[in-house]
A and B are shown apart, each in its own frame.
Chain A
């Protein structure tokens, strides 16, 4: 049945499926840029004993200036995060009656995600077919919630270090020792996760080659890719007849090209940062 509908669908020339609205894309770009600046300035302190770190420090004009960059980037990041929280909350409140917390359009993990993980591993081991996904795959949900965790942990420990006197007014001194460790280790986790796992899932999988995947900059994906990567959602939309609601014009060539350049640049920076972190970790 599904099969038939798919084939029947008129080829949507000049159309793509929209996945991310403009605000989300801007937020993602700001996140990407600020997190890279945070990693660069932070890691050159964390790995101060490497040969590259002093160069980066000089580039910024010393730890004081780098500290300002670090704090500004952190403020941007936290600002966006809180704006996003407000946006999401109002959205949920407004749609309180209809919002399905565990529905396919929600980012909240559900039972299906657990099953998907198992199915995915089965497929990896050649013991089952490739699972199909709805709007949000479990690894995308992980990416989303990892930011919450990161914000909570890195953000709060960072605030403790940024305002030592406030911290010391209600916490003992060892809180700084703990905050230092938590801040550094969690930042390491974030950096390495982003530049290995996140990059792989979205840009370096065999199916995604050659990089970059520009959906986060253009906001939409070609139909065949959508069908392949979010088959369950596709089928759902076909059945409910809502697919049309998600169709948008194929982005202009200039936007796609610009997005590709931007994407490749960010990937290059990210991989460079990864190399620096690895040098620091090993050396």
Chain B
């Protein structure tokens, strides 16, 4: 071999080495690029609903992950079966859950906001209004109206114990993931409606639920599935719930009872208690002052607060000096039932005839008088001499 000078050799070797290194670096870089792309694709597929439900599906049982929150802090499972029937079935989990950016367990929460029914729905409604779709999307208007009334309600106020929370948020009453409002008149609607006492009572208002379950309304709703009887929301409303100490409550609750008990409301309105209430003052007896609120029973039930045996005590809450005679006053007397209220029946007939008699006589008297006197005056104007004559 021809003798190659050592310096050239060095250059060549260096070249090859550099080229090799370059190639090495190149492939490494390519490989890295490929792996990130592959990772992205993997991640995308992991954030779809199926992936999320892979861990969060109800039938999986509770999530047991090391490093996760304590047992009690474990999230509830989500029923895919129900989710696909819910009002949000077409949505991606992550459209609402902007705070979730990975599919690992436990999650590393991202900076995105937690889902918020109110903000999202106000925006949806604004968009619908802009696009003139308010008729097609009327139901979205219902949501927004409920949001509006809810905002003024007792539940929207900060909780006394934990100021960062409201008393009850939308998702405390409505399970976001399975929330569906079945059409009126279907058995699904009935089922849904019948859950209301449980929704209110299970976690928050256990005492009221317990008392309610024993009442005539509770028995009708919970045992006989009678939708016509009052559940919590028939008396309290669902979204404009107010503090029971407020005057507005004391006035509206009476109307709410009256939506079903129309006759009793009417007769109540004929008494001083009801008249004052109608005028906007809540201090006289309201339906619940006499009947109770959650433990309402039929008046013939010996435990009812208005049963003759207990009535005196009920009235004495306000009428301190009430006597047994006082309490036979009928808070629901009407003028049409002789069997139940004979005295009232007789007296009302008497008064009506008196009024009719007096007015028939005197209005006839007045009318004729007017006519005759006017005629006479006209005649006198035409023949002024008659006036003198008549004197």
| A interface residue numbers (CB < 8 A to B) | 6, 44-46, 48-49, 53-54, 57, 62-63, 120-121, 123-126, 129-130, 139, 161, 164-165, 168-174, 176-178, 180-182, 185-186, 188-189, 192-193, 196-197, 200-201, 205-207, 227-228
Contacts and interface: CB of A to CB of B under 8 A. Distances in A.
Given A164-B319, A181-B351, A207-B373, A63 B358 contact: no
Given A54-B279, A178-B343, A206-B377, A165 B366 contact: no
A173 B269 contact: no
Nearest to B330: A177
A44 to B, nearest CB: 7
B326 A173 contact: yes
B328 A174 contact: yes
A45 B272 contact: yes
A206 B351 contact: no
B325 A123 contact: no
A49 B278 CA distance: 6
B344 A48 contact: no
Name the residue in A6, A170, A200, A227 with the highest tally of chain B Cβ atoms < 10 Å from its Cβ: A200
B3 interface: no
B48 to A, nearest CB: 59
Interface majority SS on B: helix, strand, loop or mixed? helix
A206 B373 CA distance: 6
A50 B366 CA distance: 29
Contacts of A186: 351
B355 A188 contact: yes
7 contacts: A171-B325, A174-B343, A177-B333, A181-B335, A185-B354, A197-B362, A197-B365
A185 B279 contact: no
User: Closest 9 CB pairs between A and B?
Assistant: A173-B328, A173-B329, A168-B326, A124-B368, A185-B351, A48-B275, A48-B278, A168-B325, A197-B362
Contacts of B321: 165
Contact of B366 (A121, A125, A169, A196): A196
Contacts of B365: 120-121, 124, 139, 197
A54 B280 CA distance: 7
Given A63-B279, A169-B323, A181-B344, A48 B359 contact: no
A184 B279 CA distance: 17
B327 interface: yes
B283 to A, nearest CB: 8
B126 interface: no
Contact of B325 (A120, A126, A169): A169
A229 to B, nearest CB: 12
What band does the interface of chain B fall in when counting residues whose beta carbon is under 8 Å from A? 35 or more
Nearest to A170: B325
Interface in B359-378: 359, 362-363, 365-366, 368-377
Nearest to B376: A130
A181 B325 contact: no
B138 interface: no
B275 A46 contact: yes
B279 A48 contact: yes
Given A189-B358, A196-B363, A206 B374 contact: yes
A57 B279 contact: yes
B358 A205 contact: no
Given A63-B276, A121-B368, A182-B351, A165 B377 contact: no
B322 A165 contact: yes
A201 B366 contact: yes
Interface in B335-355: 335, 341, 343-344, 347-348, 351-352, 354-355
B36 interface: no
Contact of A197 (B270, B341, B363): B363
Contacts of A193: 358-359, 362
A251 B327 CA distance: 58
B333 A168 contact: no
Contact of B276 (A48, A123, A182, A207): A48
B43 interface: no
Given A48-B269, A168-B322, A174 B330 contact: yes
A200 B366 CA distance: 7
A57 B326 contact: no
B246 interface: no
B390 interface: yes
Contacts of A228: 391
A231 B175 CA distance: 90
Given A182-B347, A188-B355, A189-B354, A200 B370 contact: yes
Contacts of A53: 278-279
